[in-house]
Every structure is written in structure tokens, then in C-alpha cells.
């Protein structure tokens, strides 16, 4: 691996790019559009029972949960140690990045285990460039997570707070 996570990523600080937050927002938007196009209803900033937060969670027509971790830079991916904890809650797991993300890092087996899918996205759309393996969670956890998903989604619709 020839990318040093300690070195600054010029995509985060370069002029006119909007920085890390803008990359994350754009990729998140594209992932949500991709999910909707495939009949998967997305929910951003989904909180799990253990308190961790998934960038995008999606629920498909069959009740399968798809989780996505958005990575804005190589250092972001290399420093993330929490994503393996998400695997027990979802049927499919993806990393999503923008088109400028270094491809060699995405193809490195030590960074991207075979279970993990890869999505390339921008603010307009996304594409699955590597499908995620289908590994259903335990039925009890799946049910609890789907209920949690539904309650969080409904809570966001409750604009009156009644």
C-alpha cells in the first residue's frame, strides 16, 4: 500500500472542492438516489441499538437491510475501525466513495474484504462497482433493527412533535 494516511489528502483542503463535508454530502446523496432507483428506501444517519451511527441504511422490499459507510478520503477509510461492528446488523454492506477516490485502495484485499461491496457516487447518482455479499443477520437482530429503522424514519416525519 503506497498511500500514507498521515499525509494530507489535497481533496480535503484544495480550493473549490468544498472539502470533506461536501464530498460526504455528495456521495451520500448519490447513494440515496441509487437506493431509491432500486426500490431500497434509504435513511441517513441511522442509529443502531449499540449507539453507533451508519451513514446510510436502506430497507428493500423483502426486508433486507443494506448499510453504507461513506468515505471521503483514503485516510478516512484507513482510520475507520468501527465498520466491522455493522456487519451483524445488515444483509449487505457497502463502502461508498466519489469518483476521485484511488482505485488501488478500493481493490486492496486488506482494506476491502470480499463481503464488502463498493459504490461510486456523486451528488446525482451512484453505481455499484462491486456487489456486496448477502449475509443475513440473525432473525432476532434483523427484526429489532427493522423496527428501529421504521421508528427512526417515522420520527423524522413527525414534524408536529405530537
Residue 141 pLDDT > 50, yes or no? yes
For residue 123, the enclosing domain spans 11-157
Q: Does residue 4 sit within a domain?
A: no
With respect to residue 3, please indicate whether it lies within any of the assigned structural domains: no
Question: Per the domain annotation, does 149 fall within a domain?
Answer: yes
Number of independent structural domains in the chain: 1
Q: Identify whether the C-beta of residue 91 lies closer than 8 Å to the C-beta of residue 65.
A: yes
Pick from 137, 121, 139, 146: nearest CA to 60: 146
Judge whether 132 and 69 are in contact, CB under 8 Å. no
Q: Which residue has the cell 498521515?
A: 6
Q: Would you give the DSSP letter of residue 23?
A: H
For residue 22, is it within any domain?
Answer: yes
State how far the Cα of 78 lies from the Cα of 68, in Å rounded to an integer.
16
DSSP letter string over 62-90?
A: TS-EEEEEE-SSHHHHHH--SGGGGGGG-
Quick one: which of 86, 70, 98, 91 has its CA closest to 135?
91
Task: Of 1-5, 36-40, 93-97, give the lowest mean pLDDT range.
Answer: 1-5
Among 124, 146, 133, 152, smallest CA distance to 28 is for 124
Q: With 50 as the cut, is the pLDDT of residue 6 above it?
A: no
Q: Tell me, yes or no, whether 140 lies in a domain.
A: yes
82 part of a folded domain: yes
Predicted local distance difference test score (pLDDT) of residue 49: 94
Q: What is the maximum alpha-carbon separation in the chain? A: 54
pTM: 0.85
What local confidence, expressed as pLDDT, does residue 121 receive?
A: 97
115-130 pLDDT per residue, tens: 999 999 999 999 999 9
Inter-residue contact 38 to 44 (CB < 8 Å): no
**Given this model, what pLDDT does residue 161 score?**
62
Q: What is the mean pLDDT of the chain?
A: 87
Amino acid at each position: 500500500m503506497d498511500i500514507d494516511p498521515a499525509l494530507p489528502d489535497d481533496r480535503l483542503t484544495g480550493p473549490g472542492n468544498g472539502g470533506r463535508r461536501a464530498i460526504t454530502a455528495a456521495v451520500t446523496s448519490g447513494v440515496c438516489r441509487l437506493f431509491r432507483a432500486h426500490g431500497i428506501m434509504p435513511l441517513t444517519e441511522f442509529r443502531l441499538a449499540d449507539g453507533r451511527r451508519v451513514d446510510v441504511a436502506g430497507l428493500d422490499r423483502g426486508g433486507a437491510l443494506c448499510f453504507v459507510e461513506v468515505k471521503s478520503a483514503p485516510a478516512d477509510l484507513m482510520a475507520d475501525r468501527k465498520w466491522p461492528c455493522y456487519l451483524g446488523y445488515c444483509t449487505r454492506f457497502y463502502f461508498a466513495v466519489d469518483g476521485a477516490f484511488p482505485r488501488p485502495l478500493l481493490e486492496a484485499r486488506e482494506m476491502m474484504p470480499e463481503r464488502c461491496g463498493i459504490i461510486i457516487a456523486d451528488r446525482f447518482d451512484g453505481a455499484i462497482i462491486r456487489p456486496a455479499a448477502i449475509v443475513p443477520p440473525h432473525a432476532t437482530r434483523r427484526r429489532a433493527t427493522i423496527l428501529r429503522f421504521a421508528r427512526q424514519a417515522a420520527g423524522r416525519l413527525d414534524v408536529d412533535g405530537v
